[in-house]
């Protein structure tokens, strides 16, 4: 297999942003997201708390292009179907974007606000080349039949659920034999958030006990890992502007005074392509 910045599992390097493939995919997706957001006032609820600009997030600026690249490549090279389940979709451009590219995508989330807003967004955007729909789920089960999807995707969601074992089992169940599970997940580097070493090892063992690793790992030096501090789209807390500096000063004062506050932590993320063995 020809090795480029996308043809591997693992933690991406900050140098991967120099990839011409990434630049092309990011530009395409950013242009689509801008058009999606032009109609935002027709579907976006004030109760939806997450950012509208989903693509330009410290990790998702790589994660969305990575998953889109894998879907296209795997579909063409392995003659799969086009049926995707996106677990933990939220309300972003990605659902209708993939439908516009000819995929049949079902978005699912536990948030009833996401159900309302994304269902409306699909009605407003009206993708022409594929299908898109939303299905509300619970945290412990997916409301679909066995062996129903060619792909399951998940962007920085699975690591946050309470019952990892049950969630991974459910994903295995709804994925067709020979189907692909493409996921990304945040990794804690500072000891204050999810996927600290013990939970990371448990999570990775669950994945590899249920699925076969399809794309081998590429090893990057830790100093080159994309993090929420050094990404081309860093967390607001780590940006080099006056608002970020003020926020850091306030948090420092709160720490001295013993006041509870949310610390953004130090994170990287991993991208993995897995396959459900034919059984």
Q: 81: domain CATH number?
A: 3.40.50.150
As a whole number, mean pLDDT of residues 65-83 equals 95
pLDDT digits (tens, 9 = 90+) for 219-235: 999 999 999 999 999 98
Residue 192 lies in a domain: yes
Domain count, the chain: 1
pTM: 0.92
Res 244 pLDDT > 70: no
For residues 7 and 4, the model is more confident at: 7
Question: pLDDT at residue 252 above 90?
Answer: no
Predicted confidence at residue 160, as pLDDT, reads 85
pLDDT tops 80 at residue 242: no
Q: Is residue 203 part of a domain?
A: yes
Residue 45 lies in a domain: yes
**Distance in angstroms (rounded) separating the CA atoms of residues 26 and 66:** 10
Tally of CA atoms within 13 A in the half-sphere of 247 that contains its CB:
14
Q: What is the pLDDT of residue 149?
A: 98
Residue 259 domain-assigned (yes or no): no
Residues 151 and 182: beta-carbon distance below 8 Å: yes
What confidence score (pLDDT) does residue 278 get?
65
Please give the structure tokens belonging to residue 49: 């708390």
Domain that holds residue 57: 14-227+269-275
Residue 236 belongs to some domain of the structure: no
pLDDT of residue 2 exceeding 50, the answer is no
The phi and psi torsions of 228 (rounded to 5 degrees) equal -70, -5
Examine residue 66 and state whether it is found in any structural domain, yes or no.
Answer: yes
CB 24 within 8 A of CB 31: no
Does some domain include residue 34? yes
Question: What is the reported pLDDT for 262?
Answer: 61
Would you say residue 165 lies in a domain? yes
Distances (CA, A) of 205 to 168, 198, 199: 11, 11, 10
- Tell how strand 267-275 and strand 212-213 pair up: antiparallel
């Amino acid at each position: 297999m020809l090795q480029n910045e996308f043809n591997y599992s693992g933690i991406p390097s900050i140098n991967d942003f120099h990839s011409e493939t990434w630049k092309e995919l990011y530009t395409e997706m950013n242009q689509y997201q801008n058009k999606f957001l032009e109609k935002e006032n027709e579907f976006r609820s004030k109760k939806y708390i997450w950012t509208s600009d989903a693509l330009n997030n410290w990790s998702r600026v790589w994660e969305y292009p990575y998953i889109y690249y894998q879907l296209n490549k795997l579909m063409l090279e392995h003659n799969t179907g086009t049926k995707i389940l996106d677990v933990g979709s939220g309300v972003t451009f990605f659902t209708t974007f993939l439908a516009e590219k000819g995929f049949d995508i079902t978005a699912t989330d536990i948030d009833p606000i996401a159900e309302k807003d994304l269902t409306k967004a699909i009605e407003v955007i009206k993708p022409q080349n594929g299908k898109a729909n939303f299905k509300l789920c619970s945290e412990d089960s997916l409301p679909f039949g066995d062996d129903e999807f060619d792909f399951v995707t998940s962007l920085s969601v699975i690591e946050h659920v309470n019952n990892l074992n049950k969630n991974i089992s459910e994903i295995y169940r709804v994925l067709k034999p020979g189907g692909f599970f493409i996921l990304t997940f945040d990794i804690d580097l500072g000891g204050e958030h999810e996927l600290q070493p013990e939970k990371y090892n448990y999570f990775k063992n669950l994945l590899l006990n249920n699925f076969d690793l399809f794309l081998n790992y590429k090893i990057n030096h830790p100093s080159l890992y994309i993090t929420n501090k050094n990404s081309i789209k860093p967390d607001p807390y780590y940006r080099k502007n006056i608002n970020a500096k003020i926020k850091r000063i306030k948090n420092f004062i709160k720490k001295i005074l013993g006041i509870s506050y949310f610390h953004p932590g130090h994170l990287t993320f991993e991208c993995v392509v897995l396959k459900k063995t034919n059984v």
